Amino acid sequence: MTQPVALITGGAKGIGRGIALDLAAQQWNIAFCYRTSEAEAQSTAQAITERGGTALPIRCDVSDPEAATQLAARVEAKWGRIDALINGAGPYHRINLFEESVDGWNAMFDGNLHPIFYLAQAVSPGMKARTSGRIINFSMANADQMVAQPDVTAHYIAKAGVLILTRTLAKLLAPHGITVNAISPGFIDSGSAPPGELAGMTKRIPAGYIGTVDDTVAAVRYLLSDEARYVNGANIQISGAWGI
């Protein structure tokens, strides 16, 4: 039986790493890209191998459309297929809208929204030919609420755009046996925020605690499974009821 192949953007650390290690335990071939986290990428690749998977770490800036296309082509050249595209890359910065620069504004769309478009175009022909495939995009827990976000404005708009793009891709690709869904984490202890900052947010979360990487990984595992074959265009919130 052919081993399934996953391409994960932002897979060197945090939630992306957690997804990669979970797939490794299921003997997937896993390509993941990173921009600057060289040490973390090598550590993740080793951990993937130790868990029974095959790793292909690739330094790539997926905000560059040509680089994103070449990334998908490289993975397909190595393993002949991409069964799952998991768009986990999602840089952000916190700055008041009126202090934001044009470069900073554009960077939020270049990093969070545009790569999903580039990579969906790149991987969908192969998925269509095989009449199967999974694409999972990451948004954020309250992006569907469209509330004011003075300090993360561009990031928030980009994440709302992810939800629209997810639905559009789902409608276009469903006839070809491909599902496209979104996962929207709230406050997750993924190593990207100081523990003290996360602890201070607990009182705002109805469930009363911070989520873990495993909570998010479990949702990915479900969406990649046969049990989720009829789930398409959905947005799964992993937030303990925060942001709804």
Residues labelled as active-site residues: 156
Q: What amino acid is encoded at 137 in this protein?
A: N
Q: Which residues contact 212 (CB under 8 A, 6 or more apart)?
A: 188, 189
Q: What is the per-residue DSSP string for 83-129?
A: -EEEE---------GGG--HHHHHHHHHHHTHHHHHHHHHHHHHHHH
Q: Which of 228, 214, 143 is nearest to 184 (CA)?
A: 143
Hey, how many other C-beta atoms are within 10 angstroms of the C-beta on 171? 12
Among 79, 112, 64, 77, residue whose Cα is nearest residue 6: 79
Residue whose tokens read 């081993």: 3
